């Protein structure tokens, strides 16, 4: 018994120390990558061009143009740009580090034109670079897409060690984007809260959000983003749709419907052929009285009364009794029917 009491007292003496032990703080997460509007995305891409140069600008633009992950864009080869295929497409082949998202992405005509401009003329930018604490210098950089091989070739040596990857590292892109995002928020303080989560995945999120806002079906947008069919929840998480996106889509749909209605109103109805109208007017309830339809009246003037041979004299007499035929019309139709007997 005394041993049990001693053990209990020992545990009680240790308890306060356990209670006062510092808790491990959770690492603050950046959350989901922010999706920008089309105008904000252009501002962000232009900021990257002015602050980091044309090479990083082209990589960031590719993530937003084709909903690419930063690692996929960094590993692209010149041969992956199939600009002269029908239709043009961007090939994302299966390769180590690219995950499960191999596939083909269609390239729109305006995108083909932009890529061809980059290939033929390159991308040029001028920016100020700090030389030391006392001075800066304006430099002009030009990035030309290579004729073959990696679009974004990496270093062959780093710290006197051979680098295994022959392309730009995803971690290098990540650190550059996070550094530029802080500068971008500083340059635009009014929108800093909206853009503080800018990172490499923002281009992919922006493209998917734009497609959803334009009314592209879920199946089409998932195929474009190369998401698995079982990843519907993940794909929907990319779409940062706002009431503005919904309003814009509804206005576009409304304009489309108004355009269709205007086309229908402006297009004159096709007039039925004479044969079709003759068949309509041969029915017992669509004879050619003076109070009949206009199209039947037109046929009555151009067609002899012998065309009414399907009607009987009893029918004609009944129509006259009902006031559907004048005496002159009754006489002509009766004579025409009697001649057929």
Per-residue pLDDT in tens (0 to 9) along the chain, 341 residues: 566 666 666 666 655 544 554 555 555 555 678 888 888 899 999 999 999 999 999 999 999 999 999 888 998 999 999 999 989 999 987 766 545 578 899 999 999 999 999 999 999 998 887 777 777 888 899 999 999 988 988 776 566 677 777 788 888 899 999 999 888 888 887 777 777 778 888 999 999 988 888 888 888 998 898 888 888 888 888 777 778 878 777 888 777 777 766 675 555 555 555 444 444 444 444 444 444 444 445 434 444 444 455 566 667 677 777 777 777 777 777 777 666 65
Residue-range domain boundaries for the chain: 38-200, 274-339
- The CATH architecture that domain 38-200 belongs to is Orthogonal Bundle (1.10)
- Half-sphere exposure at residue 100, Cβ-oriented, CA atoms within 13 angstroms: 6
- φ/ψ of residue 150, rounded to 5: -65, 140
pTM: 0.65
- Half-sphere exposure at residue 116, Cβ-oriented, CA atoms within 13 angstroms: 11
Residue 159 structure tokens? 């710290």
Residue with tokens 């030309």: 144
Identify whether the C-beta of residue 89 lies closer than 8 Å to the C-beta of residue 106. Answer: yes
- φ/ψ of residue 141, rounded to 5: -115, 145
Question: 333: exposed, middle or buried (C-beta count within 10 Å: 0-12, 13-18, 19+)?
Answer: buried
Residue 275 structure tokens? 């044969």
Cα(17)–Cα(43) distance, rounded to whole angstroms?
54
């Amino acid at each position: 018994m005394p041993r049990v009491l001693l053990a209990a007292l020992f545990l009680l003496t240790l308890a306060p120390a356990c209670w006062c032990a510092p808790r491990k703080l959770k690492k603050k997460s950046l959350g989901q990558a922010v999706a920008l509007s089309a105008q904000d995305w252009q501002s962000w891409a232009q900021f990257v061009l002015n602050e980091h140069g044309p090479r990083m600008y082209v990589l960031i633009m590719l993530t937003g143009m084709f909903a690419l992950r930063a690692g996929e864009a960094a590993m692209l080869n010149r041969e992956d740009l199939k600009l002269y295929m029908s239709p043009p497409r961007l090939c994302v082949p299966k390769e180590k580090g690219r995950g499960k998202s191999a596939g083909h992405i269609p390239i729109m005509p305006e995108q083909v034109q932009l890529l061809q401009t980059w290939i033929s003329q390159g991308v040029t930018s001028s920016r100020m670079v700090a030389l030391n604490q006392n001075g800066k210098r304006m430099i002009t950089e030009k990035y030309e897409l290579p004729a073959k091989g990696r679009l974004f070739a990496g270093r062959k040596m780093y710290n006197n060690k051979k680098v295994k990857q022959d392309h730009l590292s995803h971690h290098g892109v990540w650190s550059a984007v996070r550094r530029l995002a802080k500068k971008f928020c500083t340059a635009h303080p009014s929108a800093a809260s909206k853009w503080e989560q800018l990172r490499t995945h923002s281009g992919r999120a922006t493209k998917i959000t734009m497609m959803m806002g334009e009314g592209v079906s879920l199946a089409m947008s998932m195929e474009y983003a190369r998401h698995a069919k079982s990843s519907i929840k993940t794909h929907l998480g990319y779409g940062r749709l706002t009431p503005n996106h919904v309003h814009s889509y509804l206005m576009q749909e409304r304009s489309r419907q108004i355009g269709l209605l205007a086309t229908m109103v402006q297009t004159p109805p096709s007039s039925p052929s004479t044969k079709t109208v003759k068949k309509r007017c041969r029915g017992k309830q669509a004879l050619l009285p003076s109070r009949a339809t206009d199209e039947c009246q037109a046929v009555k003037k151009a067609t002899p009364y012998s065309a009414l041979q399907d009607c009987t004299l009893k029918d004609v007499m009944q129509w006259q009794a009902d006031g559907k035929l004048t005496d002159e019309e009754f006489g002509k139709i009766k004579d025409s029917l009697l001649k057929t007997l």
